[in-house]
A and B are shown apart, each in its own frame.
Chain A
Amino acid sequence: MSTADDKNRKAPAGERVADWADGRLGIYGLAKANMRKIFPDHWSFMLGEIALYSFIIIILTGVYLTLFFHPSMNEVEYHGGYVPLQGVMMSEAFASTLDISFDVRGGLLIRQIHHWAALIFLAAMLVHMMRVFFTGAFRKPREINWLFGFLLFVLGMFTGFTGYSLPDDLLSGTGVRFMQGAVLSVPVVGTYLSMFLFGGEFPGGDFVARFYSVHILLLPGIMLGLVVAHLILVFYHKHTQFAGPGRTNRNVVGMPLLPVYMAKAGGFFFLVFGLIVIVSAIATINPIWSIGPYRPDQVSTGAQPDWYMGFSEGLIRVMPGWEINFAGHTLVLGVFIPLIIFPLVLVAIAVYPFVESWVTGDKREHHILDRPRNAPTRTAFGVAWLTWYFVLLVGGGNDLWATHFHLSINAITWFVRVAFFAGPVIAFIVTKRICLGLQRRDAEKVLHGRESGVIKRLPHGEFVEVHTPLEQGDLHKLTAHEQYKPAEIGPTVDENGVERKVSPGEKLRAKLSEGYYGEGSQIPKPTAEEYKEITSGHGHH
């Protein structure tokens, strides 16, 4: 205020409001640091935004749904708008979901937006995670943010599962029954866990209400906190960028938050929301009225969970039925082993950044992204993991694969059992070779230029294709990546001639490093000398 008074003018209303807020919140300081913050533009950087926006959409529609949903398992006779279920006994949860779908105007739309957004939320998180993985964006200083993101994905899965179970329909009830069976398989405490979780014997009268508070309060509350932390870290670290002219590890090139990024990101929220609403308008999701209310003695073929739980379904379907009985006890390995592998599949990808940083021993900050081909081992590992995940998804949908491709369920199950072990290995080898091929092509391009498509005849009759040399910006882009040398075990004898013990960890690390960066695992990028020799010399063509 003082400055305005000094200059003897009345500040505009907006400024006065901002002044008021600044006096209490210090917003000018915040705005100075962030208002013109630079964000790089790349479509793959927006995958996380898709996830963020679908999360917001899920919260908005979820709040609306809570106004109409009754999380109760009291049995009632249905007399609402859907004729083929009139007079059927069902839980209040199911009946109120039918009411939302048939008697509340717009209720069906909101329900479908909620569910479609949930599927897209998880899909976007997975794709976003893969973008971060394949470009190496998880490296220092972003490892913690990688873990936050991973936790969001896992919590998203369970929030999805609990939400999917709330309508108490025949399909989700079958899923809950499966969960109960899996809990029972836990050695020693399985039956206790099951009794406590369901308030007695399955299905009991409690799980909908319990899942409800987990679904609308506990998990989303944690997720909201993680999302905020995730975003704060993105702001704090500043976004990564791909190598290119003018883009270094010490700067970030792009457009300012105000106005361009704000308009683009804000606009993108509406685009995502609009598209999800349109998808919800035209395509049915989880038509619980066709599925019917849950009864523990009824079931339908094609009983699957939503896609993000599909890999666990695959695990449980292809596992052989091992069961060990001893001294009056039963070890249900057929269910318990998949229950153990389920988190391991996820942890395998989550811990990768830490493994890689241990192998490279690199403690610097990295803000320039790798092209996947330039990190062949990492890329190959990622593709192997995706193959693993996809093989399990195939296993989880084996009955639909069978009917749609006229195959035998038994044959698919056996295929998945083999591919569970063989698929990732094959994918690893193939991907690595492809990456090396692409590296060779890049080197070729740098040294000899781009194929122009123009054929020239030389005086002595030979035909050659004219190659146009790359511009300096492109040359820089293709050679900007770093190439590590394999770590070696240092001298085992120090200068005083005392022998040093080499720990097994050190040996393993050297071996891994050799695998990562040794011969055959990367193509040496062209050096300036090579380039000069080729470009200065004539008659090389």
Chain B
Amino acid sequence: MKKLSARRRHPLAAVVVLLLALAATGGLYTAFAPAGKAQADETAQSLAIEEGKKLYSVGCASCHGTGGQGSSDGPSLVGVGSAAVDFQVGTGRMPAMAPGAQVPKKKVIYSQKEIDQLAAYVASLGAGPITPTAKQYSPAGADIAKGGDLFRTNCTQCHNFTGEGGALTHGKTAPSLEGVDPKHIYEAMQTGPQNMPSFPDSTMPEQQKRDIIAYVKAVNGEESASPGGLKLGGLGPVSEGLFAWIFGLGALIAVAVWVAAHTAKAKKS
């Protein structure tokens, strides 16, 4: 609770009346989320928050409410933290075209600087997971095999063996992890975007998240080996069966037609 009182003295706290209630909600998080960084370099930070607020009121407020309190069209952003903003806006999911069960990945429309400003503003609404640093999510030196084991325990049920994605209920999907920035994978585990559950540091320590990222990059990165040839989408027996029918049996039948066909007769002279 000490940290909470410290937060009350934040310059913006006095202005935002809501904060009291918001901080109480975010309190659960502060108990175990490292929150020290939010106060580093205060002036630059408050400037970013100002800019972020402007961007927010243009691009986000219509759904999430003017103070991030949420509305019928979008959830409250109090306590979601900068990591959530960095993930949602950084992957183009936000701003959404329309509210719905699942907001798809789109072209990113904000620059990373703008995203950081937005994130700073939303983080100022209530403490939450903080955008990770490169050191936190970099797969370099992580234990790939351990990551594989963790991936199979925690992730494959939705994202498939090598992260090709899969179906959820009523048209929702778990997206493919191919080509996803390690930072965004880290943030997704940390924040649990949309229907994905979160895997907070308390149950899955930072090191394990790095192991998982290293595994995903090892088996589904640009340089990932597929020693046996075409991966066929990495989707398992369904695509293999289609390939066997279309290219396997198809080619064999084409050959059979050649073998059985009558040889061209000489033209009648």
Assess A/B contact in the complex (Cβ within 8 A): yes
Using a CB–CB cutoff of 8 Å, the interface residues on chain A facing chain B are: 41-43, 45-47, 49-50, 83-88, 101-102, 108, 112, 116, 119-120, 123-124, 127, 170-171, 264, 267-268, 271-272, 275-276, 279-287, 290-292, 295, 297-307, 310, 397-400, 402-403, 406-411
Cβ–Cβ contact B259 & A300, under 8 A: no
Asked if B194 lies at the interface with its beta carbon under 8 angstroms from chain A, I say no
- Please, which residue of chain A has its CB at the minimum distance from the CB of B153? A298
In the complex the two chains form, what is the Cα distance from A284 to B234 in whole Å? 9
Q: Give 6 closest A-B pairs by Cβ, nearest first.
A: A307-B241, A301-B166, A284-B228, A119-B244, A408-B171, A300-B156
Is B229 within 8 A of A281, CB to CB? Answer: yes
- CB neighbours (8 Å) of A272 from chain B are 252, 255
Q: Which residues of B contact A297 (CB under 8 A)?
A: 153
Which residue from chain B places its CB closest to the CB of A410 in the assembled complex?
B170
Chain B positions 154-195 with a Cβ under 8 Å from a chain A Cβ? 156-162, 164-171, 173-174
Nearest CB of chain A from residue B231's CB, rounded to whole Å? 6
Q: Judge whether B32 is part of the interface by a CB distance below 8 angstroms.
A: no
**B248 contact from A123, A170, A409, Cβ within 8 A:** A123
**B256: contacting residue among A268, A286, A291, CB under 8 A:** A268
Chain B: CB-nearest residue to A171: B236
Interface CB pairs A-B, < 8 A, 21: A46-B256, A83-B218, A86-B145, A101-B227, A112-B228, A116-B248, A123-B244, A123-B245, A123-B248, A124-B249, A272-B255, A276-B248, A284-B227, A287-B228, A301-B156, A301-B160, A301-B165, A304-B238, A307-B242, A400-B167, A402-B171
With beta carbons under 8 angstroms apart, the residue of B165, B170, B238, B259 that contacts A43 is: B259
Q: Is B260 an interface residue (CB 8 A)?
A: yes
A-side contacts of B234, CB under 8 Å: 287, 290
CB-based contact B226/A287 at 8 Å: yes
- Across the interface, which residues of A come within 8 angstroms of B219, CB to CB? 84, 290
Chain B interface, >50% SS class: helix
Which single residue of chain B is at the shortest CB-CB distance from A124?
Answer: B249
Does B237 reach chain A (CB closer than 8 Å)?
Answer: yes
Question: What residue in chain B is nearest A412 (Cβ atoms)?
Answer: B167
In the complex, the chain B residue whose C-beta lies closest to that of A400 is B238
Separation of A300 and B242 alpha carbons in the complex (Å)? 20
* CB atoms of B249 and A43 under 8 A apart: no
Q: Contact: B157 with A300, CB < 8 Å? A: yes
Chain A proximity of B136: nearest CB distance (Å):
22
**Interchain CB contact under 8 A, B152 and A170:** yes
Does B84 make an interface contact (CB < 8 A)? Answer: no
Number of residues on chain B facing chain A (CB within 8 A): 60
Across-interface contacts of B243 in A (CB, < 8 A): 279, 283
Residues of B within 8 A of A112 (CB): 228-229
The verdict on B149 contacting chain A, using a C-beta distance below 8 Å, is yes
Partner of A41, one of B249, B255, B260: B260
- 12 further interface pairs, Cβ-Cβ under 8 Å (given A397-B238, A403-B165): A45-B260, A49-B256, A83-B145, A84-B144, A120-B252, A171-B161, A267-B259, A283-B230, A304-B236, A307-B245, A409-B167, A411-B171
B235 at the interface (CB under 8 A from A): yes
A425 to B164, CA, bound (A): 37
From B144, B148, B238, contact of A307 by CB (8 A):
B238
Task: Tell me whether A399 and B167 are in contact (CB under 8 A).
Answer: yes
A161 to B215, CA, bound (A): 30
Known contacts A46-B260, A292-B152, A408-B170; decide if A279 and B248 are in contact (CB<8 Å). Answer: yes
Q: Among A87, A88, A120, A283, which residue has its beta carbon within 8 angstroms of that of B228?
A: A283
B162 to chain A, nearest CB (A): 5
Partner of B235, one of A83, A170, A302: A302
Which chain A residues border B241 with CB–CB below 8 Å?
119, 306-307, 310
Is there a chain A Cβ closer than 8 Å to B251's Cβ?
yes
B266 interface residue (CB < 8 Å to A): no
- Nearest-Cβ distance from residue A59 to partner chain B, whole angstroms: 18
As a 0/1 sequence over residues 237 to 269 of chain B, the CB contacts with chain A under 8 angstroms (1 = contact) are 111111111011101110111011110000000
Inter-chain CA distance A292–B147, complex, in Å, is 12
Min CB distance B6 to A, Å, is: 42
A66 → B minimal CB distance (Å): 20
- Asked if A47 and B256 sit within 8 Å, CB to CB, the answer is yes
Task: Quote the shortest CB–CB distance from A271 to chain B (angstroms).
Answer: 5
CA distance A90 to B35 in the complex (A): 41
Complexed CA–CA distance, A264 and B257 (Å): 12
Known: A281-B229, A283-B229. A119 touches B157 (CB 8 A): no
Chain A residues with CB under 8 A of B248: 116, 119-120, 123, 275-276, 279
Chain B residues contacting A281 (CB-CB under 8 Å) are 229
Whether the pair A41, B156 counts as a contact (CB closer than 8 A) is no
> In this complex, which of B153, B165, B239, B248 has the most chain A Cβ atoms within 10 angstroms of its Cβ?
B248
Q: With CB as the reference atom, state the residue of chain B lying closest to A88.
A: B145
Among A120, A295, A399, the residue within 8 A (CB) of B249 is A120
- Which among B167, B241, B252 has the greatest number of chain A C-beta atoms within 10 A? B252
- Residues B237 and A304 in contact, CB atoms below 8 Å apart: yes
Q: A43-B253, A45-B260, A88-B148 are in contact. Are A302 and B227 (CB under 8 A)?
A: no
B238 near A302 with CB under 8 A, answer yes
Q: Which residues of B contact A303 (CB under 8 A)?
A: 236
Contact in complex: B169, A410 (CB < 8 Å): yes
Closest to B162 in A: A290
Contact A286 B240 (CB under 8 A): yes
A282 B229 Cβ-Cβ under 8 A: yes
Cα separation A397 to B234 with both chains bound (whole Å): 15
Q: Pick the residue among A87, A268, A290, A402 that contacts B167 (CB under 8 A).
A: A402
- B215 contacts across to A, CB distance below 8 A: 84
Closest residue of chain B to A81 (Cβ to Cβ) is B227
Residue B21 interfacial (CB < 8 Å): no
Residue of A nearest to B239 (CB): A400
Chain B nearest CB from A132 CB (Å) reads: 15
A49 contacts across to B, CB distance below 8 A: 256
Contact indicator B237/A299 (Cβ below 8 Å): no
- Bound complex: CA of A41 vs CA of B256, how far in Å? 10
CA distance A409 to B226 in the complex (A): 30
B255 contacts A271, C-beta separation under 8 Å = yes
> B84-109 toward A: CB 8 Å interface, digit per residue (1/0)?
00000000000000000000000000
A45 to B257, CA, bound (A): 10
Residue in B153, B247, B255, B262 whose beta carbon sits within 8 Å of that of A279 in the complex? B247
Q: Are A301 and B171 in contact (CB under 8 A)?
A: no
Given contacts A279-B248, A301-B174, A410-B170, whether A284 and B257 have CB atoms under 8 Å apart is no
A88→B171 contact, CB < 8 A: no
Q: How far is the CA of A304 from the CA of B174 in the complex (A)?
A: 17
